[in-house]
């Protein structure tokens, strides 16, 4: 299974899929924009389904920590 790595020499240390320069952030931006996993895989041939799953697991683990996430409320 591909894993997430962070190296200051690759993408300024952002978490990436091992063996690529594809950031976890990019995967989430594409998913949030409505792209499917298949579309992401087609656009990034070095990425695998395991890589996308690793990015999702990485984010889930990061969100488990006791951190307060500020939200922006829209004015009515």
pLDDT band at 63 (very low <50, low <70, confident <90, very high): confident
Is a pLDDT exceeding 60 seen at residue 67?
yes
CA 35, distance to chain mean position in Å, is 13
In this predicted structure, what is the pLDDT of residue 42? 97
The arithmetic mean of pLDDT across residues 67-74, rounded, is 72
Q: What is the DSSP letter of 10?
A: S
Pick the CATH number of 4-63 from 1.10.10.10, 3.30.300.160, 1.10.3720.10, 3.40.50.1000: 1.10.10.10
Q: Is the pLDDT of residue 2 over 70?
A: no
The full set of domain ranges for the chain reads 4-63
Tell me, what's the pLDDT at 28?
Answer: 96
The closest of 11, 14, 51 to 31, measured between CA atoms, is: 51
When pLDDT is averaged across residues 9-28 and rounded to a whole number, the result is 94
Instruction: Measure the CA dihedral 4/11/34/72, to 10°.
Output: 100
Instruction: Share the mean pLDDT of the chain.
Output: 90
User: Kind and range of the H or E element at 4?
Assistant: strand 4-5
């Amino acid at each position: 299974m591909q894993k997430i790595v962070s190296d200051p020499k690759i993408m300024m240390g952002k978490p990436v899929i091992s063996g690529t320069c594809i950031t976890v952030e990019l995967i989430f931006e594409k998913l949030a924009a409505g792209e499917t996993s298949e579309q992401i895989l087609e656009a990034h041939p070095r990425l695998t389904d395991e890589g996308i799953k690793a990015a999702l697991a990485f984010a889930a683990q990061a969100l488990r920590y006791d951190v307060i996430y500020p939200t922006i409320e829209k004015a009515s």
